[in-house]
Chains A and B, each alone.
Chain A
C-alpha cells in the first residue's frame, strides 16, 4: 500500500470514529427527548392552555417528539374551547397587550415543544451526518482496496451499520417514528465499536471472493436486508416495551412498522441467498453444500418466512409477532457472527 493510500485510510478511520461519537450523541439526545416527552405527558392537559397549534384532525401523523400532541383528542377539544374563549377576549385588546399576554401566559410546555422538536431534528441531523461519514469511509476503503468493502469482518460490520442507518432513515421518512433510534443506535454503536476493535487492515481478496460483481451484489443484499431486519427488531422491542416507555405513537404502528420492515427484509434476504448459491456454483461447482454459514442464513430465512405466514395467514399481531421478529434478528446476528464459532463445529472432513 502506498503512503498516500495509508494517509487516506488514516483520514477515513477518523471519519469512522467521528461517526461513532455522533451515534453516541444521537442516542443521548434521543434519551433526553424521550425523557422530556414522558415528563410533559404527565402534565395535566388542562394546564396546557395557550397552545399555538392545536392538533388538527386531518394533520399528518404525529411526531414522537412533538410533546404537545400528547394531549388526547378529548382534551384537545377542551383546549380549543379555551382558545376560542381567549380569542374573543383578545379581539378587544390591542396588539401590544396581546404580545405581553402571550409572553405572560405561555406555559413551559409550549416552550418544551420547541425544545423537543429542535432536539429531535438535532438527533436526526446527527444520524444523517453519521451515515454520511460511514458512507465516505466505505467509499475511501473501496478506492484503496479496489473492491467493495466486504472482504472481512471489519468491512462487513461497517457496511452492516450503513445498511441499518439507511433502513432507519427510510423508515423515519416514511413512518415518522424517531423512537426507533433508541434501539437502532445501540446496535449500530456496538457494531461500529466491534468493527474498530477487530482491526481496520485492508485485505486482498482470497481467490474464492474474487468475483467483484457477485461479491458486491451478494453482500450488498445482505447488508440491506440485515439493515431492514434491525429496524423490524427495533419496532418489535419498542412494541413490547411500549407500556413501560409510554410512547406517543399508537402501539399498533410499531407492530406495523415491524411487519413492513420484515417484508422488505424477506425478499432481499431471498435474493442474497440465491446470489450466494449462484456464486457457490460458479466457484465450487455446487450451489448448496450445507456450509454452516449458508445453513445459518437459511435458518434466518425460515424464521422470517414463518413470521410472514404467521402474520398473514394466522393473523399473528402484537406480542407473538414481535417475539418472532426478535428471534429473526437474533438469527441474523447468529449468522453474522457465525464465522467465529460455526466453522470449528462443522464438518471435520469437509
Chain B
C-alpha cells in the first residue's frame, strides 16, 4: 500500500517554502505512483490485453510496414477480412501491435513501475532481514494470526534458552530480544527474490531493446559449390557452401534433415569447416550461422562496358509468377539505381517468350512498377542493356544461411537465469517469522505471517513438538 501524502501541507503561491514543499510533494506523489501495486497490476493486465489482441488479430510480418508495396498487399487482405474496420484497426496499430506506440507506452510504464516497486521495496526487505522487530507486545501473542503456547517446568530464562536451541536445530535464525523473548526466522533472504525477478524482467526488456537497436542480421544465399560470399557487416568473414542436402521421408513426405557443409574464412584464413543444421549453428566470435532455407537459384554476372564486374552471384528464385509459368528472383544494383528481376521457366511449362535453358532479365528503375528494358539470355551468354552486360552463368541450388550478431543475446541469457533464480527464492524459500516469549511458566509462540495452509501445519507441528521440550503437557 502506498503512503498517503501529508494532507496538512498546503500550497500558497506567494510562499517560497510552500512552493518548495509542493515540488517535493509532487515528486513524492509521482514516486508513489511508480510503486503503486494497483497501478502495477493494471499495467500487467493492460499488457495482457495487448498480447491477446496480438494473438487473435493477424499481424504483419517483419518489414511489411516499412515496405509500401508489401503493406498495400497486406492491407488488401485485411480489407477482405475486416471490411471497413481494417482502416480503423490499421490506424490503431492493431496489425503491428508489438511495434505500436501504445505497446511501447505500456512496456515503458511497466519498466518504471518495476523500478519504482524495487527501489521502494529494497530498504524494507533490508530492514526486515538485518534489523527485524525483535520484541513485541504481550497482546501480540494472543492477537497474532498464528499463536499458541506450551507449558514449561523450567524458569523463563531456561525455557527460552531451550526453545532457542531447538529452533536453531530446525535451521531458524535466532535473534535475542531480551532474556525472555526472541525472534526467529527462516529464509529471510527469500524476500529478495521478488526484486531480483522484477529487475531481471527489466533486463529482459533491455535485452530486447539492445537486440532491436544493435543486432545485425543477413541471409546469405550461397550457391552449392559456388563462390564464397562476404558477410555484409563483417567484411573480413566469407562463407562458402560446399554441399547441401535435404532429406525427406519418402513415406510421409516430412523433412528429416537439412544439412549444409560450410567453410568459414576470416581474412582469407579458414577458421571453421563443418556441417550446419537447424539446431546446430556454426558460432564464431559472436557471429552465428544458421541453416535458414534452401531452394533453386540462377547464377548471374553483370559487367560494365569495361568488363568490370558490377554484380556476380546467385539469385534466389523465391517467387512464382501470378500465372504460374515463371519462377522469379530479384537483385539490386544500388549504385546504378536499378532493380533486376530474373525470370526462368517453371518446370513443365512451355511458352513462346522463353525457352528452357534461358533467363529473362527485366530491368526496373528503383521503385518503378514498369520495366524500362528486358533481355533474354541463353546459359553461358550475355545480353546487353545500355552499358551493362547481363550474363546467365548456370542454374544451381542454394542454401540460405542466416548470419547474426546479437549483443542482446548474452543479456537475455543472464536475465533469464536471474528470473528463474528470483522466482525460486520467492516461491520455494518463503520468509517465515516467529516471535517467542517465555512468561509465567509458559512458552508463547506467535507469527503475523499470512494465513497459509503449509505454514499453519508447520506452526501446529512446532507447537506439538514443543510440548516434548518440557515434560509438561501443552495446554
Query: Which positions in A face B, CB cutoff 8 Å?
Result: 58, 175, 203-204, 206-208, 210-211, 214, 253, 256-257, 260, 263-264, 266-267, 270-271, 274, 277-279, 281-288, 290, 292, 295-296, 298-299, 302-303, 305-306, 309-310, 313-314, 334, 338, 342, 345-350
**A306 vs B52: C-alpha distance when bound (angstroms):** 14
A207-B70 CB under 8 A given contacts A267-B423, A295-B51, A309-B37: no
**A58 vs B473: C-alpha distance when bound (angstroms):** 14
B44 pairs with A274, CB closer than 8 A: no
Query: Interface digits, B54-68 against A, CB 8 Å rule (1 contact, 0 not)?
Result: 111111111110000
A207 pairs with B279, CB closer than 8 A: yes
5 contacts between A and B (CB under 8 A): A204-B252, A207-B256, A267-B423, A306-B48, A313-B40
Which residues on A sit within 8 Å (CB–CB) of B279? 207-208, 210-211, 214, 279, 282-283
Query: Interface digits, B241-278 against A, CB 8 Å rule (1 contact, 0 not)?
Result: 00000000100101111100000000000000000011
Which residues on B sit within 8 Å (CB–CB) of A299? 48, 51-52, 55
- B330 interfacial contact with A, CB 8 Å: no
**A266 vs B278: C-alpha distance when bound (angstroms):** 30
Q: Which residue of A lies closest to B194 (CB)?
A: A312
A203 pairs with B252, CB closer than 8 A: yes
Query: What is the minimal beta-carbon distance from A62 to any residue of chain B, in angstroms?
Result: 13
Which residues on B sit within 8 Å (CB–CB) of A281? 409, 412
**A146 vs B292: C-alpha distance when bound (angstroms):** 26
B61 pairs with A256, CB closer than 8 A: no
A349 pairs with B64, CB closer than 8 A: yes
B54 pairs with A283, CB closer than 8 A: no
Which residues on A sit within 8 Å (CB–CB) of B353? none
B453 pairs with A349, CB closer than 8 A: no
Query: Interface digits, B65-106 against A, CB 8 Å rule (1 contact, 0 not)?
Result: 000001000100100000000000000000000100000000
Which residues on A sit within 8 Å (CB–CB) of B47? 302
Which residues on A sit within 8 Å (CB–CB) of B288? 285
Which residues on A sit within 8 Å (CB–CB) of B74? 348-349
Extra 11 A-B pairs, beta carbons < 8 Å, given A274-B416, A284-B292: A208-B279, A263-B427, A281-B412, A285-B288, A287-B409, A296-B55, A309-B41, A345-B58, A346-B58, A349-B60, A350-B61
**A263 vs B425: C-alpha distance when bound (angstroms):** 12
**A266 vs B291: C-alpha distance when bound (angstroms):** 33
Contacting A at CB under 8 A, from B258-312, are: 258, 277-279, 281, 288, 290-292
A306 pairs with B420, CB closer than 8 A: no
| Cross-interface CB contact of B54 among A266, A267, A274, A295, cutoff 8 Å | A295
| Cross-interface CB contact of A290 among B58, B77, B98, cutoff 8 Å | B98
Contacting A at CB under 8 A, from B19-55, are: 37-38, 40-41, 44-45, 47-48, 51-52, 54-55
| Cross-interface CB contact of A210 among B41, B217, B277, cutoff 8 Å | B277
**A277 vs B416: C-alpha distance when bound (angstroms):** 10
| Cross-interface CB contact of A266 among B51, B255, B423, B464, cutoff 8 Å | B423
B48 pairs with A349, CB closer than 8 A: no
| Cross-interface CB contact of A203 among B52, B254, B454, cutoff 8 Å | B254
- B419 interfacial contact with A, CB 8 Å: yes
A267 pairs with B427, CB closer than 8 A: yes
A175 pairs with B55, CB closer than 8 A: no
Q: Which residue of B lies closest to A214 (CB)?
A: B279
Q: Which residue of A lies closest to B1 (CB)?
A: A313
| Cross-interface CB contact of A310 among B41, B52, B254, cutoff 8 Å | B41
**A88 vs B178: C-alpha distance when bound (angstroms):** 52
**A75 vs B278: C-alpha distance when bound (angstroms):** 69
- B325 interfacial contact with A, CB 8 Å: no
- B208 interfacial contact with A, CB 8 Å: yes
A347 pairs with B420, CB closer than 8 A: no
**A111 vs B52: C-alpha distance when bound (angstroms):** 53
List the 3 closest A-B pairs by CB distance, nearest first: A349-B61, A313-B37, A302-B48
| Cross-interface CB contact of A314 among B38, B55, B208, B413, cutoff 8 Å | B38
**A210 vs B427: C-alpha distance when bound (angstroms):** 33
Which residues on A sit within 8 Å (CB–CB) of B60? 347-349
Q: Which residue of B lies closest to A293 (CB)?
A: B55
Q: Which residue of B lies closest to A294 (CB)?
A: B55
Query: What is the minimal beta-carbon distance from A267 to any residue of chain B, in angstroms?
Result: 4
Provide the main secondary structure of the chain A interface: helix
Which residues on A sit within 8 Å (CB–CB) of B41? 306, 309-310, 313-314
Query: Interface digits, B404-446 against A, CB 8 Å rule (1 contact, 0 not)?
Result: 1010010011001001100110010000000000000000000
**A286 vs B58: C-alpha distance when bound (angstroms):** 21
- B3 interfacial contact with A, CB 8 Å: no
A298 pairs with B37, CB closer than 8 A: no
- B341 interfacial contact with A, CB 8 Å: no
Query: What is the minimal beta-carbon distance from A314 to any residue of chain B, in angstroms?
Result: 6
**A210 vs B277: C-alpha distance when bound (angstroms):** 10
Query: What is the minimal beta-carbon distance from A29 to any residue of chain B, in angstroms?
Result: 26
Query: What is the minimal beta-carbon distance from B93 to any residue of chain A, in angstroms?
Result: 14
A207 pairs with B48, CB closer than 8 A: no
A309 pairs with B44, CB closer than 8 A: yes
Which residues on A sit within 8 Å (CB–CB) of B370? none
Which residues on A sit within 8 Å (CB–CB) of B290? 283-285
A206 pairs with B44, CB closer than 8 A: no
Query: What is the minimal beta-carbon distance from A349 to any residue of chain B, in angstroms?
Result: 3
B58 pairs with A348, CB closer than 8 A: yes
B70 pairs with A342, CB closer than 8 A: no
Which residues on A sit within 8 Å (CB–CB) of B419? 270, 274
**A345 vs B44: C-alpha distance when bound (angstroms):** 25
Which residues on B sit within 8 Å (CB–CB) of A208? 278-279
Query: What is the minimal beta-carbon distance from B450 to any residue of chain A, in angstroms?
Result: 9
Q: Which residue of A lies closest to B207 (CB)?
A: A287
Which residues on B sit within 8 Å (CB–CB) of A298? 51
| Cross-interface CB contact of A347 among B45, B61, B412, B427, cutoff 8 Å | B61
**A207 vs B291: C-alpha distance when bound (angstroms):** 10
- B16 interfacial contact with A, CB 8 Å: no
A347 pairs with B59, CB closer than 8 A: yes
Which residues on B sit within 8 Å (CB–CB) of A266? 423, 427
**A299 vs B48: C-alpha distance when bound (angstroms):** 6
Which residues on B sit within 8 Å (CB–CB) of A334? 55
A253-B453 CB under 8 A given contacts A208-B279, A281-B409: yes
B420 pairs with A267, CB closer than 8 A: yes
Which residues on B sit within 8 Å (CB–CB) of A257? 453
B416 pairs with A290, CB closer than 8 A: no
Query: What is the minimal beta-carbon distance from B434 to any residue of chain A, in angstroms?
Result: 21
B453 pairs with A204, CB closer than 8 A: no
Which residues on B sit within 8 Å (CB–CB) of A284? 278, 290, 292, 402
Which residues on B sit within 8 Å (CB–CB) of A253? 453
Q: Which residue of B lies closest to A175 (CB)?
A: B453
| Cross-interface CB contact of B278 among A210, A296, A306, cutoff 8 Å | A210
Which residues on A sit within 8 Å (CB–CB) of B292? 284-285
User: Which of A175, A266, A279, A295 has the largest number of chain B CB atoms within 10 A?
Assistant: A295
**A295 vs B56: C-alpha distance when bound (angstroms):** 10
Q: Which residue of A lies closest to B454 (CB)?
A: A260
- B14 interfacial contact with A, CB 8 Å: no
Which residues on B sit within 8 Å (CB–CB) of A290? 54, 59, 98
A207-B37 CB under 8 A given contacts A266-B423, A306-B45: no
Which residues on B sit within 8 Å (CB–CB) of A306? 41, 44-45, 48
Which residues on B sit within 8 Å (CB–CB) of A349? 60-64, 70, 74
Which residues on B sit within 8 Å (CB–CB) of A345? 56-58
Q: Which residue of B lies closest to A349 (CB)?
A: B61
